[in-house]
Amino acid sequence: MSLSSTAKFSSAAKTSNSEDGGKRRTHHHHRLWVVTALVLSIVLIVGVISHPSTAPNNNQEKAGASMMMDDIPMLERIKTSATRTAPAPAPLPSPACTFVECSKSSCDHVMAPYLCLTHNGGPHGGCSSAPWVVGTCTTSCDERGCDALRIPDDVKSCEGVSCTTKEEGGCTCEHGAPYQCLVGSAAHGCSDEAYHWTAYTSFETCSECCDTRMCQ
């Protein structure tokens, strides 16, 4: 083999080796790109699996907040409608009580001066610190002026009225409280007020009284 043939063969071999090396490098780069893409895909899939509800939860929170805000006007409309359909009860007129009404009542003239006289066709007698309202009482009066009322002339007094004997149930009260009730649920009761049994108690409580100072 001549020297020129040897040189040509050597050159051809080098060219062939260079081409084979380039092909191998290209194939290696291609495999490296495929592996890199596969790894990135796996990372993305793992991330989605690990946090599947982040976006939906945010959307749900936003939707819930929107619903709550939308409910506020509705609640206000319901409150307004309820207020319009259920007006506050009107207060019942309460003129000043008469002497008889004052005397028959057990209400405190300062703390609970509003006396309900009748309701639903019958006597009531309830006391209130505020005016009665329509639907809870039919007629009422105000006792705040009761203490300034004078006893009417036609109201009888127990003073000077003779009592029955002790055997008949009279003359049992001492002179410190000489006015005795004779008939009624308060029979044998004593008072130091001459009008107590006639002006300040009901007829059922005491219908007849006397003055034990008249007893012998």
Give pLDDT, residue 106: 83
- How many residues does this entry show for the chain? 216
143 within domain boundaries: yes
The rounded distance, in Å, linking the Cα atoms of 10 and 154 is 157
191 within domain boundaries: yes
104 within domain boundaries: yes
1 within domain boundaries: no
Kindly state whether residues 109 and 143 are assigned to the same domain: yes
Mapping DSSP to helix (H, G, I), strand (E, B) and coil, where does residue 32 land?
Answer: helix
Percent helix, strand, coil in the chain, to 5, is 45, 15, 40
Query: What is the pLDDT of the chain when averaged over all its residues?
Result: 76
62 within domain boundaries: no
Confidence (pTM): 0.47
Min mean pLDDT across 54-63, 70-79, 80-89, 166-175 is at 54-63
Nearest to 196 by CA among 129, 124, 103: 103
141 within domain boundaries: yes
Give pLDDT, residue 12: 46
Kindly state whether residues 103 and 144 are assigned to the same domain: yes
Burial 100-119 (b: 16+ CB within 10 A, else e): ebbbbbebebeebbbbbbeb
- Please state the domain count of the chain: 2
Consecutive H or E run containing 114 = strand 114-119
Q: Which residue has the higher pLDDT, 88 or 78?
A: 88
131 within domain boundaries: yes
pLDDT tens-digit series, residues 24-54: 555 555 566 655 666 666 656 655 555 554 4
Nearest to 99 by CA among 148, 33, 31, 158: 148
> Domain of 144?
99-148
Kindly state whether residues 172 and 133 are assigned to the same domain: no
204 within domain boundaries: yes
Of 115, 148, 181, at which residue does a domain stop? Answer: 148
pLDDT tens-digit series, residues 117-153: 999 887 788 999 999 999 899 999 999 999 899 888 8
